[in-house]
Structures are given as structure tokens and as C-alpha cells.
Amino acid sequence: MQIGLRLHDSKNIEIRERLDVVKQQGFSCVHLALSKIEGLVSGIDALSPGYAMYLKHLFDNAGLDIAVLGNYLNLAHPDKDTLKTIQQKYVAHLRFASHLGCSVVGTETGAPNPTYSFDKESCHSEWALNLFIENLKPVVEAADKFGVILAIEPVYKHIVYSPERARTVLDKIGSPNLQIIFDPVNLLHPDNLHRRDEIIKEAIELLGPDISIIHLKDYVLNDGNMDCLGCGFGQMDYERIVRFAVEKKPFIQATLENTTPDNAIQAREYIESIERKILEA
């Protein structure tokens, strides 16, 4: 695996220094969310080819790839005008990614309310799924035109909450440029933790060929809630996930999440130790 880091989890310093530190920590790529990095801008009007080239040179000079350009907005927003702006921002990010040399724009799958909040009855409903698919179609059409992958990330608290729902979206859209960000922990919830291994197995079986990026983080269960943290500091079992990457996805980019500047190296080394054991077996 090519292990990377969510850039906004790194030390909050000037961007050039920041990239150098990430590289020195042993990472090869990053997940970049422009709006979460001080000094960078993400407005539609700002996403010009020149801005993309400026960033590309910064990352190239640091020896880092941009694995994912994140644009995590609500594609199920009920207000038509707001939704139109959100769709336009996705199109702008896809165009920007094509100049940036980043092949994946990442998104979660929203909630059918203006606050992007979890309501199980509505989020997990069929009408919400159909709404998301319809709103996603023009964005995927743009991904096809720009030759960039739009990767959706299934999350239990969002509309695409399960491997089966994700498979439905992929099949109904039918584009090779629509793929999956596989974040195993995001598929889990206190409601389904008793099925953890089964859910991860299902995700690999149903979505494996369409997984383009892996996200890696850990969790602990506290008073009925799942708290997320860096890999190796919680209760997650990564063996099946890392084995899938080693056997089926050679050199896939896998970015760590919920790390801190102080424990990022330890989290990377933890995942690498699992990978090493699999390769040496």
C-alpha cells in the first residue's frame, strides 16, 4: 500500500513546511480538503488551472501525491438552489482535479435535510437513496467528461449506509468513473458492531473491484458511542482489510484518518507491520 495522511490532520504550519513534515514522517500521499487547510481556498471562482498548477508544483516538490481531493458536501440537500450550487462545486472540483494531476474527487453521500444530520428513518429510506442517485447523475457526467474518478464513501449515518446500497448506486449510475472510497469504520455503528466482520467481508465482496481508495482509522466504544482515533489505538481488526489490499489492490493509496501530528508515524507503522506479516507469511 501507498500510505498517506489526511492533510488537515498534520501539523498546522505554512503549507510548504507542512508538506515537508508529512513527507519526513514517511507518507507518500495525502487526502486534500482545500477548505480545511489554512492559506488555501476552495471557492468555485478560485479553482482555476493556474491555482491547480501552483498546488501541483508544491506537492511535486515535496514528493507527495494527492490521492483524493475531498469535497464532502450534501448531494441530497432539499433546497433546489443550494443543491445546484453544491453540484456546481463538485463539477469545479472535478475540473480542478484534472489540472491538479489528482485522479479522485471524494464525497460522502449526504442526508435528505439541510443540516446534514442523521435521522435513520429518512437517511436509510428508499426515497432518500433515489434522491441521491438523481442528484449524483450530473456530477458523474462531469467526471466522465474530465476523465476523473468520483469516489463515494459509504457511511452508516448517511444515505449510502451499507455495501448493498453502494452497489445499487454503482449499478444504477453505470459509469466506470464512479468508484468507492472504502472506509471500514464508517460502515460501522453501535447498532451493527456485532456484525463488524461480516459487514467488512460483504463490502470487499460487493465493492472490491470498484474500490479506488482506502481510508484507515480506529475506534473505541464508549458508553454506547463510537469514538474515532488513529490506527492501532482502538478496537479495530485490520487483517482482512490489509490482506484485501495486498492481494487485490497492489499499490493502492490508503490514507490514515483521525491521527494527530504526534501519533501519525506510529499509526502508519502499525498498518505497515500488519502488511509486512501478510507479505512474509
Per-residue pLDDT tens digits for 252-264? 999 999 999 999 9
Mean pLDDT on 157-177: 98
pLDDT of residue 269: 98
Mean pLDDT on 182-190: 98
Give the pairing type, strands 149-152 and 65-70.
Answer: unpaired
pLDDT in tens, 98-117: 999 999 999 999 999 999 99
pLDDT in tens, 201-242: 999 999 999 999 999 999 999 998 999 999 999 999 999 999
Q: How many domains in the chain? A: 1
Sign of the alpha-carbon dihedral angle for 118, 119, 122, 125: positive
Distance CA 203, CA 165 (A): 10
User: Residue 86's pLDDT band (boundaries 50, 70, 90)?
Assistant: very high
User: 185 lies in which domain range?
Assistant: 2-280
pLDDT of residue 34: 97
User: Residue 35's pLDDT band (boundaries 50, 70, 90)?
Assistant: very high
- Beta-carbon contacts of 202 under 8 Å, excluding residues fewer than 6 positions away, are 162, 163, 164
Whether 168 has a pLDDT exceeding 90, the answer reads yes
Mean pLDDT on 243-248: 98
Contact between residue 99 and residue 47 where contact means Cβ atoms under 8 Å apart: no
Whether 281 has a pLDDT exceeding 90, the answer reads no
Average pLDDT, the chain: 97
CATH code, domain with 173? 3.20.20.150
Distance CA 31, CA 189 (A): 24
Q: Is 56 left (phi over 0), alpha (psi -120 to 50) or beta?
A: alpha
